[in-house]
Amino acid sequence: MSKQELAAKAGVSLNTLNRWCKPFSSELKALGLHPKARMLPPVVVKFIAEKLSIDL
């Protein structure tokens, strides 16, 4: 899933999603996410959805 698709599911812009994810940057990096990545691995999508209460 792309960051843009995840932002749309959350009902926010991509910039807002990026701001919301900033506090979790160390955890996302540990999961293997590069800060400039456009596509998100499934484990990262699950982590973000759980942390931000996004219904997938």
CA diameter of the chain: 26
Name the 3-class secondary structure at 2: strand
Cβ count within 10 A of residue 2: 13
Which pLDDT does position 1 carry in this prediction? 93
Which pLDDT does position 46 carry in this prediction? 95
Gap between the Cα atoms of 35 and 25, Å rounded: 8
pLDDT in tens, 1-56: 999 999 999 999 999 999 999 999 999 999 989 878 889 999 999 999 999 999 98
Gap between the Cα atoms of 29 and 56, Å rounded: 22
Strand-pairing partners, residue 39, are 2
Kind and range of the H or E element at 49?
helix 42-52
